[in-house]
Amino acid sequence: MKNLRMKSARAALDLSQDDLAKKCEVSRQTISAIEKGDYNPTINLCISICKALDKTLDDLFWEEA
């Protein structure tokens, strides 16, 4: 499942995938794969992304019913 909430939060802060990747110490390809739904990040990476985007885990990663 695509993570459009993460992509939207990143865009709202005017961050490129590369910018976010550097903040989270991962590759740009990793960020791209998460946004495309091709990769499930570890909880530690989820937390790092949330901190970088000033969002909660629920905001970005919780699937709504």
Taking the domains of the chain in order of start, what are their residue ranges? 4-55
Identify the CATH assignment for 4-55 out of 1.10.287.3510, 3.80.10.10, 3.40.50.10860, 1.10.260.40. 1.10.260.40
Pull the structure tokens for residue 9.
Answer: 């939060």
DSSP string, 15-55: --HHHHHHHHTS-HHHHHHHHHTS----HHHHHHHHHHHT-
The predicted-structure confidence for 20-63, as pLDDT tens digits, reads as follows 999 999 999 999 999 999 999 999 999 999 999 999 999 999 87
**Would the pLDDT of 6 be above 90?**
yes
3-state SS assignment for residue 58: helix
3-class DSSP assignment, residue 60: helix
Q: How far is CA 31 from the centre of its chain?
A: 6
